[in-house]
């Protein structure tokens, strides 16, 4: 952690004692996690450690059985997918969450369509297709994204292009926290570098980022802190700004070779 002494304002995100059961299976056992603005948190753990469950709870897709979520210091009781997005928390889901039969623009704006132009159209909830198309084109231009026409259906895109749309959507809308669940899964070496560069940029912009990855090199490269989950518990929360962390150390914690805290 940054060290309480250095912090002044509220944290971007704070989850406390989150527990989640799926029937007899306990996916999360009292996990607490904090994320500051402008901080990159690596979240690692073996399959079944509870990473995805934690991500779906933070992104409002799943509800915890117990525990508290605070966004910008405020209790986040009405956690739902829509309200979470409205609070500026965006997620790149592992499955990308794209609709193949909708266009790139429609996917970028799904759930947050713009109304207009003009008061009548806004009152009627008429969507402003032209403006959304233009904004997406400009955003891709700024992000340096080479994409086919933004009216192309997402289903016609290649794996890398789909990933690009999903990452771009989160980066453009996430004003507080961006969660990336294996964002580089379908990407080549240089594209992966670009995503990691983007995370560094999010940090510079003051956005909190959570990076879930199986790739220790990626995590060690961009993260300020690493939290390790094992069997539904957080067993380590290492601040790499205080002392360097090695991949071997993380692998030991993930597999259980190193017991970690508890």
Interaction between residue 205 and other proteins (CB under 8 A) = yes
Rank residues 85 and 218 by Cβ distance to other proteins and give the closer one: 85
CA distances from 112 to 162, 188, 224 (A): 19, 30, 31
Interaction between residue 256 and other proteins (CB under 8 A) = no
Interaction between residue 53 and other proteins (CB under 8 A) = no
Rank residues 53 and 84 by Cβ distance to other proteins and give the closer one: 84
Interaction between residue 63 and other proteins (CB under 8 A) = no
Rank residues 21 and 131 by Cβ distance to other proteins and give the closer one: 131
User: Locate tokens 């995590």: which residue?
Assistant: 219
Selected binder of other proteins within 130, 142, 255, 256 (CB under 8 A): 142
Report, in Å, the least distance between residue 118 CB and other proteins. Answer: 13
Interaction between residue 119 and other proteins (CB under 8 A) = no
Interaction between residue 9 and other proteins (CB under 8 A) = yes
Report, in Å, the least distance between residue 215 CB and other proteins. Answer: 16
Selected binder of other proteins within 198, 210, 223, 253 (CB under 8 A): 198
Interaction between residue 252 and other proteins (CB under 8 A) = no
Selected binder of other proteins within 30, 38, 48, 252 (CB under 8 A): 38
The C-alpha atoms of residue 58 and residue 13 are separated, in whole angstroms, by: 9
Selected binder of other proteins within 44, 168, 235, 236 (CB under 8 A): 168
Q: Which two structure tokens, joined as six digits, stand for 156?
A: 């016609």
Q: Which residues make Cβ contacts (< 8 Å) with residue 67, sequence separation at least 6?
A: 15, 16, 17, 18, 19, 30, 31
Interaction between residue 87 and other proteins (CB under 8 A) = yes
Interaction between residue 146 and other proteins (CB under 8 A) = yes
Size of the site for other proteins (CB under 8 A): 94
Interaction between residue 32 and other proteins (CB under 8 A) = no
Of 21, 13, 17, the closest CA to residue 65 belongs to 21
Adjacency order of strands within the sheet including 66-71: 25-35, 13-22, 66-71, 74-75
Q: Which residues make Cβ contacts (< 8 Å) with residue 6, sequence separation at least 6?
A: none
The C-alpha atoms of residue 238 and residue 42 are separated, in whole angstroms, by: 10
Of 242, 36, 230, the closest CA to residue 250 belongs to 230
Selected binder of other proteins within 46, 68, 135, 239 (CB under 8 A): 135
Interaction between residue 193 and other proteins (CB under 8 A) = yes
Interaction between residue 84 and other proteins (CB under 8 A) = yes
Burial 156-175 (b: 16+ CB within 10 A, else e): ebeeebbbbbbbbbbbbbbe
- φ/ψ of 81, rounded to 5, equals -60, -40
């Amino acid at each position: 952690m940054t060290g309480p002494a250095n912090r002044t304002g509220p944290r971007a995100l704070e989850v406390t004692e989150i527990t989640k059961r799926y029937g007899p299976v306990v996916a999360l056992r009292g996990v607490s996690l904090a994320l500051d603005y402008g901080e990159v948190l690596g979240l690692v753990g073996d399959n079944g450690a509870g990473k995805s469950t934690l991500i779906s709870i933070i992104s409002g897709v799943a509800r915890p059985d117990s525990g508290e979520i605070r966004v910008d210091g405020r209790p986040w009781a009405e956690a739902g997918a829509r309200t979470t997005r409205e609070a500026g928390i965006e997620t790149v889901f592992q499955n990308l969450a794209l609709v193949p039969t909708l266009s790139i623009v429609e996917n970028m704006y799904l759930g947050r369509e713009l109304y207009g132009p003009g008061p009548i159209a806004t009152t009627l909830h008429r969507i402003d297709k032209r403006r959304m198309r233009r904004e997406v084109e400009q955003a891709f231009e700024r992000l340096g994204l080479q994409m086919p026409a933004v009216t192309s259906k997402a289903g016609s895109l290649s794996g890398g292009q789909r990933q690009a749309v999903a990452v771009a959507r989160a980066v453009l809308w996430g004003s507080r926290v961006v969660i990336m669940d294996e964002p580089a899964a379908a990407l080549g070496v240089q594209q992966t570098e670009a995503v990691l560069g983007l995370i560094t940029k999010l940090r510079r912009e003051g956005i909190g980022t959570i990076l879930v990855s199986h790739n220790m090199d990626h995590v060690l490269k961009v993260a300020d802190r690493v939290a390790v989950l094992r069997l539904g518990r957080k067993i380590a929360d290492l601040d790499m700004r205080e002392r360097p962390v090695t991949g071997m150390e993380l692998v030991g914690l993930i597999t259980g070779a190193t017991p970690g805290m508890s």
